[in-house]
Amino acid sequence: MNIFKKEEKGAYTFDGMESPVEVRYRVADAAEAETVIMDQLKDTEIFEKFVLEAKCKDVDEWVEGVDADQVIKTPGTFGLIHLVAVDIVNRMRMGVQRKNLQ
């Protein structure tokens, strides 16, 4: 049983769009997570490093899916990039719980 995920997927909506933007990103390993958190990488750097694909039915060029670089180069996408970067960093910090053993 493998409990460690290698990928995550999220849906992000914008005002005026009927369909959400579906973003698939890979989960960071421990060394990458430490680098991202300690070096305080920019949102675009995090997005570019971890996002595998973005799709949206409302954007003709994105229907079949685009890579992170294409999203970054599209005007007006910083809000999406920021939200995804926040989710990626939050995913790095979450998931592990401590139990007190006596």
In a domain, 71, yes or no: yes
Q: pLDDT tens digits for 50-63?
A: 999 999 999 999 99
Tokens of 26: 């890979």
pLDDT at residue number 18: 87
pLDDT at residue number 16: 75
In a domain, 102, yes or no: no
In a domain, 45, yes or no: yes
| Element at 26 (helix H, strand E) | strand 21-26
Res 2 pLDDT > 70: no
Q: Do 54 and 77 contact (CB within 8 A), yes or no?
A: no
Res 87 pLDDT > 70: yes
Q: Do 14 and 56 contact (CB within 8 A), yes or no?
A: no
In a domain, 49, yes or no: yes
* 7-12 and 21-26 beta bridge pairing: antiparallel
> Residue 19 belongs to what domain range?
13-93
Q: Do 43 and 51 contact (CB within 8 A), yes or no?
A: no
pTM metric for this prediction:
0.85
Rounded mean pLDDT, 77-92: 93
Number of domains the chain is built from: 1
- Give percent of the chain above pLDDT 70: 89
